[in-house]
Amino acid sequence: MFAFTLIFGLLQFGNQPKAEAAAIGASDFLKTSGTLVKNNYGNGSVVSLHGTNLGGWLLGENWMSPLGGTDEWTVRSTLINRFGEAATDSIITSYQDTWIQAGDLDNIKNLGLNLVRVPIYWENLMNRDGSMKSDSVSFRKLDWLVSEAGARGIYVMLDLHGVPGNMNGWQSGGRDGANELWSNPTYQDWTVKIWQRLANHYKGNPVIAGYDLLNEPVSNNSSLSISQMYDRLYKAVRAIDPDHIIVVEAFGYWNNIVAPSTYGWTNTVYELHNYDWNDKDYNSQNNSINQWFADIASHQQSWNVPVFAGEFTLFEFNDLWEKYLSGLDALNVSWTNWTYKITGGGNWGLYNNNSNPFPNINSDSVDTIKSKYAKFATSFHQKNTALQNIVKAYAQLNTPSSIKAVANGKYVTAENSGNEPLVANRDSVDAWEKFIMIANADGTVSFLSMANNKYVTADLNQGGRLIARAQGIAAWEKFRKTTNADGTVSFQAVANNKYVTCDLNAATPVLVASRDSVGGAWEAFTVTTAP
């Protein structure tokens, strides 16, 4: 059994509280470096981006936000026809001012998150005739977000979620049933102009994590592939902004997009939206996670790019949320769940269950519509505590620690780069002897080996031996912590309810979850911050 001596000032059990997040400054500018994202223009420290989507804010979706209509296009059209453009702008402004406020960014920061992905509808920046709206209109909320988020140490990813004519045919793109981008050169030109404007406005701004060029693109034109459209947008942005990360989506599957070397793309991140729509099938969800992890690891290395899980849900399977998020962390994959808040229930939102009535955009007055929208501030939603606790658990990782067995005074190692069971036989600490301890949402802890970026599991197929081989955290990777009278801390494997011991009777001092109780030195370990 694991038992650890607490060393005040060197280790706290659970994920260590993050120091007060400093405002993002010039040295925090992000660029890619191989499969990683680093600050200081790619020359500094590795930055793991963990956050949430601000869905339903600058592009409403009828299933999760109180639009009152089929999609953003329909709502705007109906309001313009009834009240005119000025009144419509006033209504939309009141809604946007309500849905996301400064307190929401405080909530996000308090969860330990450092990224928001903001879905943007094109009509926030451009009129329907293709002329640009004024800066005071176009950037009113975006500039507010960039300023407020940056002050809290939160990066912002700009996501063009809905383009002129739509790019996938779904209401999530702003106009249900339309997919006209691919066959309409005018809409293609307008989309380029929108990105040129965004790039010109935000070039050099370190708060911007990257430009997510197209959300969930689905080409219906054999003469214009998704990759070709991405390349046009990439070149348009790079001509203005050579520094910011550009995000391209491998939507659906990796073979829907080309490798960066095909067009010479650099400083790019590849984004995934991991959804398995068999939402009631646990085994299907679990198998999908395993496949996603394998595909990510393969493409990270073969394409030498960072990967970003920009949208996902594991529905109501909270243990699979743990496995998925912990696995992404082990793979150095950044992530943002979909989404921050929804009107309905379930794990689509960190805040949910707001039953206030939606406006009737066909009959309500301007003032009535505004008053109904006002009831959709986050204070009217319920906190999804269970999901928030899971997200918070994997948003921050501790500093690596070393573990020394009291039984023989040796450090614990993930032998042979983690390919063999854990043993206590080292006199000093190197990569194989470093572990990150993670506090799970249910009060258990897990250990991520720095030898191979795999989680330590109590393998019941090997008599409970500990080995670093799990991609994500499930029951076999969890340990219950108890504090002993002498100040040591013991760990009981959830896999079999046995305590982990350093077995000196074995040929090598292996760590095995095999004891019914804490017996003494063999179950005692000291833990310090690794050098």
Q: What is the pLDDT of residue 448?
A: 98
Q: Rounded to the nearest 5°, which phi and psi values hold at 440?
A: -75, 160
- In terms of domains, do 408 and 453 share one? yes
Given a contact cutoff of 8 angstroms between Cβ atoms, the answer to whether 493 and 481 are in contact is: no
- In terms of domains, do 389 and 485 share one? no
- In terms of domains, do 389 and 410 share one? no
Q: What is the pLDDT of residue 10?
A: 30
36 in a domain, yes or no? Answer: no
263 in a domain, yes or no? Answer: yes
CATH number at residue 104: 3.20.20.80
444 in a domain, yes or no? Answer: yes
User: What residues does 405 pair with on adjacent strands?
Assistant: 410, 525
Q: What is the pLDDT of residue 13?
A: 32
Given a contact cutoff of 8 angstroms between Cβ atoms, the answer to whether 454 and 470 are in contact is: yes
Given a contact cutoff of 8 angstroms between Cβ atoms, the answer to whether 150 and 109 are in contact is: no
Instruction: Quickly tell me which residue has 């383009």 as its tokens.
Output: 163
Q: What is the pLDDT of residue 3?
A: 36
Domain that holds residue 520: 2-14+399-529
Instruction: Quickly tell me which residue has 């939206």 as its tokens.
Output: 273
CATH number at residue 433: 2.80.10.50
41 in a domain, yes or no? Answer: no
End position of a domain, from candidates 393, 411, 438: 393
Q: What is the pLDDT of residue 490?
A: 85
Report the number of distinct structural domains present in the chain. 2
- In terms of domains, do 334 and 476 share one? no
Among 167, 162, 267, smallest CA distance to 209 is for: 267
Which distant-in-sequence residues (6+ apart) come within 8 Å of 177 by Cβ?
A: 169
End position of a domain, from candidates 393, 409, 425: 393
Q: What is the pLDDT of residue 14?
A: 37
Task: Please say whether the dihedral angle defined by the alpha carbons of residues 39, 153, 326 and 529, taken in this order, is positive or negative.
Answer: positive
- In terms of domains, do 359 and 424 share one? no
Among 451, 447, 432, smallest CA distance to 494 is for: 447
- In terms of domains, do 261 and 313 share one? yes
- In terms of domains, do 90 and 147 share one? yes
- In terms of domains, do 260 and 369 share one? yes
Q: What is the pLDDT of residue 20?
A: 58
CA-to-CA distance for 175 and 73, rounded, in angstroms?
Answer: 5
Helix (H, G, I), strand (E, B) or coil at 398: coil
- In terms of domains, do 409 and 380 share one? no
Kindly give the confidence (pLDDT) of every residue in the chain, 531 residues in length, as a single tens digit, with 9 standing for 90 and above: 333 333 323 333 334 444 457 999 999 999 999 999 999 999 999 999 999 999 999 999 999 999 999 999 999 999 999 999 999 999 999 999 999 999 999 999 999 999 999 999 999 999 999 999 999 999 999 999 999 999 999 999 999 999 999 999 999 999 999 999 999 999 999 999 999 999 999 999 999 999 999 999 999 999 999 999 999 999 999 999 999 999 999 999 999 999 999 999 999 999 999 999 999 999 999 999 999 999 999 999 999 999 999 999 999 999 999 999 999 999 999 999 999 999 999 999 999 999 999 999 999 999 999 999 999 999 999 999 999 999 999 998 888 999 999 999 999 999 999 999 999 999 999 999 999 999 999 999 999 999 999 999 999 999 999 999 999 999 999 999 888 888 788 889 999 999 999 999 999 999 999 999 999 999 988 888 898
- In terms of domains, do 385 and 517 share one? no
Q: What is the pLDDT of residue 135?
A: 98
- In terms of domains, do 129 and 239 share one? yes
End position of a domain, from candidates 363, 393, 423: 393
- In terms of domains, do 438 and 368 share one? no
